[in-house]
């Protein structure tokens, strides 16, 4: 009997457990999955929680429900991975030996990386919305906030879901309009990038939306510290931005177990082959989702596409067949733009998001890089798809793991 | 597009970044720096050496990486290359603009 161990039961780990239980012969392979947290969070919902669009109940469920019965579910903290001995040490002193290890430990916020961020004002007038706790605290704050300067801020790249901060700004615009207090709120979007997004075509489209909604932009802002006493953020070039309410996306880092095990880069992400998902340092260790250092978006959709290719590669690895080097960095993200509309972007390592239709070329029904109500309905429907199909490893029809170039307007692409 | 700099023809993209690193030499770096109103000192060149080293090893450049470089701290980096230090330093170094693009 051989052992396959999955570390992390978030989006990626849960999908892998569901895929592999169907693919690996039960008489030969025992699959285990380890997570310290009993709750599985629907992380895309953290964007909606602060605005009372989702309730706290809608974004969390018991994680065990989504793990197949044939997979051993271990609810324990991971102390260390010891690749030389092919085993994983758990916090309760137990050890798990593995023949194949899949690292799916994700990414977390590290507000302590910036001076003054996680100080006395943390979750008072400085908030994150990338954690359940942060999103919920922010919801309570927004319910009673009387207005002023709202600053939506990105600390440094890479971050999970690079469009989420923009969506937050758009939804904030709608939220305050609906509350009849938009005139009392000044919204500024502050980013270390040269523009609203990481890809030029989408940046142009999103910039227009920011303008349209009266949201100002501060770009190329590399934060040095938060002056929480005087309510301002200051960057290395001494640019200052004042806030009354700071909603920041702190530095994103991989799990500390990666650091303890000496398996990560500067940000604790696992150096991973970007086409096969095998770790660069150990042939029997694979990585998926936010835990990797791939130059792709850290997003559930990316993890979903990776999972299909990684499953194939794990099966190949067990049979001694060369791995498929097929992952192309495919990402597919809805971008909420407020007022019941959204746009959709579909891109990969080499192709930036462009206009077009999805998933059926020339038909849609979803419009790429254009605001529409249908796109918004797509995003809302996605919560159901997530809980009922995606993490259970059920194939989502018409959406392939590698990006399709059909129905897209690449000819106008700018270099 | 092509551009003539210190009597040499080099190819650059529309933002002014060299498209072929093999065309780069120190004089070209110096001229590009002048266009950016930067007067190069030994410290500047130390940073350019560090950038070339990372480029050869195909390691991505980032502000965070600068902090750990041991060559310079971030504050100083901003003073040497005011207004977008990574963008300016990579242009002078003759390598592509870094993508923090993910």
Domain boundary, last residue among A233, A252, A271: A252
- For the segment A231-275, what is each residue's pLDDT rounded down to a tens digit? 999 999 899 999 999 999 999 999 999 999 999 998 999 999 999
Q: What is the mean pLDDT of residues B47-69?
A: 88
Q: Examine the domain organization and report whether A292 and A400 are in the same domain.
A: no
Q: Which of A237, A280, A331, A345 to mutate to test the interface with B (most CBs of B within 10 A)?
A: A237
Helix residue ranges, H only, A145-281: 164-178, 200-212, 256-260
Q: Are the beta carbons of A368 and A332 closer than 8 angstroms?
A: no
Determine the distance in angstroms separating the CA of B10 from the nearest CA of chain A, rounded to an integer.
19
Please, which residues 3-22 of chain B have a Cβ atom closer than 8 Å to chain A? 13
A38 domain-assigned: yes
Query: Cβ contacts (< 8 Å) between A236 and chain B: which residues?
Result: 63, 74-75, 77-78
- Mean pLDDT taken over chain A: 94
State whether residue B1 sits within 8 Å of chain A by CB: no
Cβ distance A298 to B99 less than 8 Å, yes or no, reads no
Cβ distance B82 to A194 less than 8 Å, yes or no, reads no
pLDDT of residue A241: 98
How far is residue B51 from each of residues A40, A257, A271, B47, measured CA to CA in Å? 42, 30, 21, 6
Q: Picking from A81-85, A207-211, A393-397, which range would have the lowest pLDDT averaged per residue?
A: A393-397
State whether residue B75 sits within 8 Å of chain A by CB: yes
Binned at pLDDT 50, 70 and 90, residue A281 comes out as: very high
Q: Please, which residues have CB within 8 angstroms of residue A344's CB and are 6 or more apart in sequence?
A: A332, A333, A334, A335, A358, A366, A367, A368, A369, A375, A378
The DSSP H or E segment spanning A315 is helix A300-319
Q: What is the mean pLDDT of residues A120-136?
A: 98
Distance CA(A347)–CA(A358), nearest Å, equals 12
Distance CA(A102)–CA(A9), nearest Å, equals 11
Cβ distance A156 to B77 less than 8 Å, yes or no, reads no
Q: Examine the domain organization and report whether A114 and A248 are in the same domain.
A: yes
A180 domain-assigned: yes
Q: Examine the domain organization and report whether A94 and A158 are in the same domain.
A: no
State whether residue B96 sits within 8 Å of chain A by CB: no
Q: What is the mean pLDDT of residues A129-141?
A: 98
Distance CA(A3)–CA(A289), nearest Å, equals 21
Q: Is A337 strand, coil or helix?
A: strand
Q: Examine the domain organization and report whether A238 and A114 are in the same domain.
A: yes
Q: Which domain holds residue A391?
A: 331-412
Domain boundary, last residue among A319, A353, A371: A319
Helix residue ranges, H only, B1-102: 26-35, 42-56, 63-67, 74-80, 85-93
- For the segment A29-57, what is each residue's pLDDT rounded down to a tens digit? 999 999 999 999 999 999 999 999 999 99
Percentage of chain A exceeding pLDDT 90: 83
Q: What is the mean pLDDT of residues A78-105?
A: 98
Query: Cβ contacts (< 8 Å) between B75 and chain A: which residues?
Result: 224, 236
- For the segment A379-414, what is each residue's pLDDT rounded down to a tens digit? 889 999 999 999 998 888 888 889 888 888 875 444
A17 domain-assigned: yes
Cβ distance A237 to B64 less than 8 Å, yes or no, reads no
Q: Which of B63, B77, B91, B101 to mutate to test the interface with A (most CBs of A within 10 A)?
A: B101
Q: Are the beta carbons of B91 and A146 closer than 8 angstroms?
A: no
Q: What is the mean pLDDT of residues A133-140?
A: 98
Mutual orientation of helices B26-35 and B42-56 as an angle, nearest 10°? 120
A325 domain-assigned: no
A210 domain-assigned: yes
Q: What is the mean pLDDT of residues B33-39?
A: 94
Q: Please, which residues have CB within 8 angstroms of residue A164's CB and are 6 or more apart in sequence?
A: A47, A129, A130, A249
Of A220, A236, A266, Cβ closest to residue B74: A236
Distance CA(A78)–CA(A129), nearest Å, equals 25
Cβ distance A236 to B62 less than 8 Å, yes or no, reads no
Q: Examine the domain organization and report whether A248 and A174 are in the same domain.
A: yes
Distance CA(B100)–CA(B102), nearest Å, equals 6
pLDDT of residue A411: 57
Q: Which of A107, A157, A197, A250 to mutate to test the interface with B (most CBs of B within 10 A)?
A: A157
Distance CA(A318)–CA(A283), nearest Å, equals 12
Of A192, A224, A415, Cβ closest to residue B100: A192
Query: Cβ contacts (< 8 Å) between A156 and chain B: which residues?
Result: 62-64, 100
Q: Examine the domain organization and report whether A234 and A300 are in the same domain.
A: no
Q: Are the beta carbons of A153 and A322 closer than 8 angstroms?
A: no
Q: Examine the domain organization and report whether A349 and A380 are in the same domain.
A: yes
Statement: residue A123 has pLDDT above 90 = yes
Q: Examine the domain organization and report whether A118 and A245 are in the same domain.
A: yes
Mutual orientation of helices B26-35 and B85-93 as an angle, nearest 10°? 140
State whether residue B82 sits within 8 Å of chain A by CB: yes
A53 domain-assigned: no
Higher-scoring residue by pLDDT: B84, A333: A333
Distance CA(B42)–CA(A256), nearest Å, equals 38
Q: Examine the domain organization and report whether A243 and A113 are in the same domain.
A: yes
pLDDT of residue A75: 97
Q: Which residues of A touch B (CB under 8 A)?
A: 156-158, 162, 192-194, 198-199, 220, 222, 224, 236-237, 266-267, 295-298, 415
Q: Examine the domain organization and report whether A17 and A73 are in the same domain.
A: yes
User: How many Å is the maximal CA-CA distance in chain A?
Assistant: 66
- A–B interface: beta-carbon pairs under 8 A: 47
Binned at pLDDT 50, 70 and 90, residue B102 comes out as: very low
Determine the distance in angstroms separating the CA of B43 from the nearest CA of chain A, rounded to an integer.
18
Of A156, A199, A266, Cβ closest to residue B68: A266
Statement: residue A415 has pLDDT above 50 = no
Cβ distance B82 to A237 less than 8 Å, yes or no, reads yes
CATH number of domain containing A65: 3.50.50.60
* Partners of A240 in beta bridges: A234
Query: Cβ contacts (< 8 Å) between B64 and chain A: which residues?
Result: 156, 266-267
Chain B residue closest to A160 (CA)?
B102
Distance CA(A359)–CA(B25), nearest Å, equals 48
Residue A331 phi/psi, 5° resolution?
-130, 145
Total count of residues recorded for chain A: 415
Q: Examine the domain organization and report whether A88 and A209 are in the same domain.
A: no
**Structurally, how many domains does chain A consist of?**
3
Q: Examine the domain organization and report whether A217 and A113 are in the same domain.
A: yes
Among all residues of B, which ones are annotated catalytic?
Answer: 101
Cβ distance B100 to A198 less than 8 Å, yes or no, reads yes
pLDDT of residue B32: 95
For chain B, the domains span: 2-93
State whether residue B59 sits within 8 Å of chain A by CB: no
Of B68, B84, B101, Cβ closest to residue A198: B101
């Amino acid at each position: 009997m051989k052992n396959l161990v999955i570390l992390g039961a978030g989006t990626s780990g849960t999908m892998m457990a569901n895929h592999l239980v169907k693919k690996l012969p039960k008489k030969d392979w025992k699959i285990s999955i380890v997570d310290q947290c009993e709750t599985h969070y629907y992380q895309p919902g953290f964007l909606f929680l602060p605005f009372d669009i989702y309730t706290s109940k809608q974004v969390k469920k018991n994680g065990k429900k989504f793990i197949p019965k044939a997979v051993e579910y271990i609810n324990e903290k991971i102390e260390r991975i010891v690749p030389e001995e092919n085993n994983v040490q758990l916090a309760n002193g137990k050890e798990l030996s593995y023949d194949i290890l899949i690292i799916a430990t994700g990414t977390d916020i590290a507000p302590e990386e910036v001076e003054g961020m996680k100080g006395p004002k943390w979750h008072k007038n400085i908030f994150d919305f990338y954690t359940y706790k942060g999103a919920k605290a922010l919801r309570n704050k927004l319910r009673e906030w009387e207005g002023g300067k709202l600053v939506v801020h990105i600390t440094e790249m890479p971050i999970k879901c690079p469009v989420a901060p923009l969506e937050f700004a758009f939804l904030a615009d709608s939220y305050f309009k609906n509350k009849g207090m938009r005139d009392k709120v000044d919204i500024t979007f502050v980013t270390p990038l040269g523009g609203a997004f990481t890809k030029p075509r989408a940046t142009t489209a999103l910039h227009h939306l920011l303008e349209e909604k009266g949201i100002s932009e501060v770009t190329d802002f590399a934060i040095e510290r938060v002056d929480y006493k005087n309510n301002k953020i200051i960057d290395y070039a001494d640019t200052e931005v004042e806030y009354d309410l700071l909603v920041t996306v702190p530095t994103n880092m991989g799990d500390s177990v990666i650091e303890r095990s000496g398996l990560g880069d500067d940000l604790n992400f696992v150096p991973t082959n970007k086409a096969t998902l095998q770790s660069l340092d150990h042939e029997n260790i694979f990585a998926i989702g936010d835990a990797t250092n791939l130059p792709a978006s850290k997003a559930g959709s990316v993890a979903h596409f990776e999972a299909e290719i990684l499953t194939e590669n794990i099966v190949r690895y067990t049979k001694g067949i060369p791995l498929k080097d097929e992952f192309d960095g495919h990402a597919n993200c809805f971008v909420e733009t407020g007022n019941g509309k959204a746009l959709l972007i579909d891109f990969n390592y080499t192709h930036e998001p462009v206009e077009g239709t999805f998933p059926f070329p020339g038909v849609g029904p979803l419009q790429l890089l254009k605001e529409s109500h249908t796109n918004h309905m797509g995003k809302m429907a996605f919560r159901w798809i997530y809980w009922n199909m995606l993490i259970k490893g059920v194939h989502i029809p018409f959406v392939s793991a590698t990006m399709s170039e059909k129905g897209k307007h690449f000819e106008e692409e700018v270099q | 597009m092509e551009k003539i700099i210190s009597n040499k023809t080099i190819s650059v993209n529309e933002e002014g970044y060299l498209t072929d690193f093999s065309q780069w030499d120190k004089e070209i770096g110096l001229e590009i720096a002048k266009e950016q109103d930067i007067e190069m000192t030994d410290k500047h060149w130390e940073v350019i050496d560090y950038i070339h080293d990372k480029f050869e090893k195909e390691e991505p450049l980032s502000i965070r990486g600068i902090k750990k470089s041991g060559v310079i701290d971030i504050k100083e980096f901003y003073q040497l290359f005011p207004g977008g230090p990574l963008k300016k330093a990579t242009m002078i170094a003759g390598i592509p603009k870094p993508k923090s693009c993910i």
